[in-house]
């Protein structure tokens, strides 16, 4: 008997203590997604119009890194965003759905997340895998959305971004290669003690490394990286130091008249629960912010300086 090709449908929802208009805006602006949705690593616009857009999304599903292209239709009046995967990744044959934001009162909203999907060849095992991934990701996405929207309203100073730029008299390719070839970092960067880099899919890396602090101690971090030769490498840290609940970043390489501008950009959300434990009983958010920025900037600038020396030696 041939198996049905009907789309499976599922819905998840959550109540958020924030106005509907603010919730809709956060979901509509996909650049925020790596910061507010745990599975999302990076989102890039392929095409962008007033109401329709095509986006490419890199995310983890059941612990595996996947990417796909989606088309979205945005209706700000109805506070509804319909989406459809344009190019799905097996075992997904087709995936779509909608975000719907409903106003409960002036201060609270209901977010409904709808999905419909099919598996390649309607394979039962694949359908079960997709069902588990959709359920897990939907629950984590909605929980994170609730947490981050409510945190943004109450504690806006916990999220901040910054960047460092080094000008290199060399090529973007060579500077990019230095950052891309992170498996060499323990030999090339004094602050990196050891590195484990995997790249099961070209351009999608998992980087785990042990980094030395100024006091001689080491800490382990793990990141998923999305690589765009020879322009940029976006990443999301999934094993975090105690003072951060989120850390995303982008390495960019922009050709200039004299060479290349190599930039390291960071976005951080502070973990207030650990501030006094890490920095002392008198520490506050401002001190934690400065401490984290200094630590990340020091390592980034050191890495960029070594990339500069590497690229300029290649000339």
| Fold matches, 8-154 and 157-313 | yes
Both tokens of 45, joined, read: 């616009």
> For 118-137, what is each residue's pLDDT tens digit?
999 888 999 999 999 999 98
Most trustworthy range by pLDDT among 9-13, 27-31, 144-148: 9-13
Helices (H), the chain: 20-28, 33-36, 124-154, 172-180, 185-188, 275-279, 285-313
Residue 1 confidence class, pLDDT cut points 50, 70, 90:
very low
Is 5 within 8 Å of 118 (Cβ atoms)?
Answer: yes
> For 166-198, what is each residue's pLDDT tens digit?
999 999 999 999 999 999 999 999 999 999 999
> For 234-277, what is each residue's pLDDT tens digit?
999 999 999 998 899 999 999 999 999 999 999 998 999 999 99
* pLDDT at position 295 over 50: yes
Mean pLDDT, rounded, of the chain: 91
Q: Is 104 left (phi over 0), alpha (psi -120 to 50) or beta?
A: alpha
Name the superfamily (CATH) of residues 8-154: START domain (3.30.530.20)
Question: Can you give the pTM of this predicted structure?
Answer: 0.83
Question: Where in the chain are the domains?
Answer: 8-154, 157-313
Q: Count other C-beta atoms under 10 Å from residue 25's C-beta.
A: 14
**Torsions phi, psi of 176, nearest 5?**
-60, -45
Q: Count other C-beta atoms under 10 Å from residue 45's C-beta.
A: 11
Interatomic CA distance for residues 92 and 15, integer angstroms = 29
Interatomic CA distance for residues 130 and 137, integer angstroms = 10
Q: Which residues pair with 69 in a beta bridge?
A: 56, 87
* pLDDT at position 2 over 50: no
Interatomic CA distance for residues 204 and 182, integer angstroms = 13
DSSP 121-143: GG-HHHHHHHHHHHHHHHHHHHH
DSSP 141-196: HHHHHHHHHHHHHH-GGGEEEEEEEEEESS-HHHHHHHHH-GGGHHHH-TTEEEEE
Both tokens of 144, joined, read: 């994170």
Residue whose C-alpha is closest to residue 288's, from 106, 193, 160 = 160
Q: What is the CATH number that goes with domain 157-313?
A: 3.30.530.20
Strand 64-75 relative to strand 80-87: parallel, antiparallel, unpaired? antiparallel
Which residues are CB-contacts of 178 (< 8 A; sequence separation ≥ 6)? 188, 306, 307, 310, 311
* Segment 80-90 mean pLDDT: 90
């Amino acid at each position: 008997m041939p198996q049905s090709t009907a789309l499976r449908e599922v819905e998840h929802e959550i109540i958020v203590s924030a106005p509907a208009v603010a919730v809709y805006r956060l979901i509509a602006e996909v650049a925020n997604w790596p910061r507010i949705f745990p599975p999302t690593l990076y989102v890039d616009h392929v095409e962008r119009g007033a109401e329709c857009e095509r986006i490419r999304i890199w995310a983890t599903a059941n612990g595996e890194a996947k990417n796909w292209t989606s088309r979205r239709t945005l209706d700000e009046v109805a506070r509804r965003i319909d989406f459809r995967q344009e190019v799905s990744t097996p075992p997904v044959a087709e995936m779509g759905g909608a975000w719907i934001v409903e106003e409960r009162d002036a201060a609270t909203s209901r977010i409904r997340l709808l999905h419909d999907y099919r598996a390649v060849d309607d394979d039962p095992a694949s359908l079960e895998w997709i069902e588990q991934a959709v359920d897990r990701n939907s629950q984590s996405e909605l929980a994170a959305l609730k947490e981050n929207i409510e945190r943004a309203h109450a504690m806006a100073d916990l999220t901040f971004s910054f960047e460092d730029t080094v000008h290199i008299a060399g090529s973007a390719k060579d500077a990019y290669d230095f950052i891309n070839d992170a498996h060499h970092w323990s030999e090339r960067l004094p602050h990196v003690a050891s590195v484990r880099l995997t790249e099961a899919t070209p351009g999608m890396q998992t980087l785990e490394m042990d980094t030395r602090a100024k006091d001689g101690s080491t800490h382990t971090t793990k990141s998923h990286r999305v690589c765009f030769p020879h322009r940029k490498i976006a990443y999301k840290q999934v094993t975090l130091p105690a003072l951060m609940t989120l850390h995303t970043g982008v390495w960019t390489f922009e050709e200039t008249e004299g060479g290349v501008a190599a930039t390291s950009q960071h976005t951080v959300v502070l973990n207030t629960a650990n501030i006094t434990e890490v920095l002392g009983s008198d520490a506050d958010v401002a001190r934690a912010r400065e401490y984290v920025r200094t630590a990340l900037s020091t390592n980034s600038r050191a890495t960029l300086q070594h990339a500069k020396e590497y690229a300029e030696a290649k000339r």
